[in-house]
Amino acid sequence: MDVGDDISSGKAVWSFSGKMTESFVEHISRSVPFYAEGHELICHLSDYFVGPQSTVYELGCSTGELLAKLAAHNDHKPDVRFVGIDVEEDMIAQAGKTCADRSNIELHCADILDFGYQKADLVVAYYTLQFVPERARQQLIDTIYESLNWGGAFLLFEKVGAADARFQDIMSGLYRDFKRRNGYTAEQILNKETSLKGVLKPFSSQGNQDLLRRAGFVDLMTVMKYVCFEGFLAIK
């Protein structure tokens, strides 16, 4: 099935491997509202948490675009360590090219559920948690909370579900309109939704906040919101 940007997928089998890496940035930039602006916001938010000798993790770093931007934004701070983790070998290979000129970036092809995290001042999950099995999300956020230094931050950006059916209908309609304005056909939009069945499983805003609070986060707020896309800042 054609989902646009020279990407094909089957029913309920969306994958981030293979040829996806070649079109990933273009595809997600056209599919996620304010995708680049979210990167910029995260870089500016990092000013409040990243200091000399900090460790920063990005979970699900894909092509390394955000990781490279974070490293460049904090280039004036000595001995900052940036660590990108992704389970897809093809994505890590592409990230290696994107981050090739940054000696303080480490890339690991690994499962974020099993990774051995060290103490960090900032952890970023940019539209990643929604692809983690629901049963494992609390465990992952618990681990993130424990890995953060006191005063450190977790930036969680997610596609979110609505509180009830009427609002969900409105949000879904607005999102499809957004995709049509970006040049996707109705068939491509439907094909993408079909391919993501059982793969992308968004929680509601409240559901994500509940995960964060159960992990121990008390101080949290929404830092970005557009229809069914939301960014949360949680501070330990």
- What are the angstrom distances between the C-alpha of 149 and each of 119, 120, 123, 183, 235? 6, 6, 11, 44, 10
Range in 16-30, 34-48, 136-150, 186-200 with the lowest mean pLDDT: 16-30
**What length does the chain have?**
236
pLDDT digits (tens, 9 = 90+) for 154-201: 999 999 999 999 999 999 999 999 999 999 999 998 888 888 888 899
* Within a domain: 180: no
Band (pLDDT 50/70/90 cuts) for residue 22 is confident
* Within a domain: 174: no
Which class for 76: exposed (0-12), middle (13-18), buried (19 or more C-beta within 10 A)?
exposed
Return d(Cα 81, Cα 103) in angstroms, integer: 9
> Looking at residue 23, what is its pLDDT?
79
CATH number of the domain that 43 lies in?
3.40.50.150
Number of domains in the chain: 1
* Within a domain: 26: no
Count Cβ atoms below 10 Å from residue 187 Cβ, excluding itself: 12
> Looking at residue 6, what is its pLDDT?
72
Is this model's pTM higher than 0.85 or not? yes
pLDDT digits (tens, 9 = 90+) for 59-76: 999 999 999 999 999 999
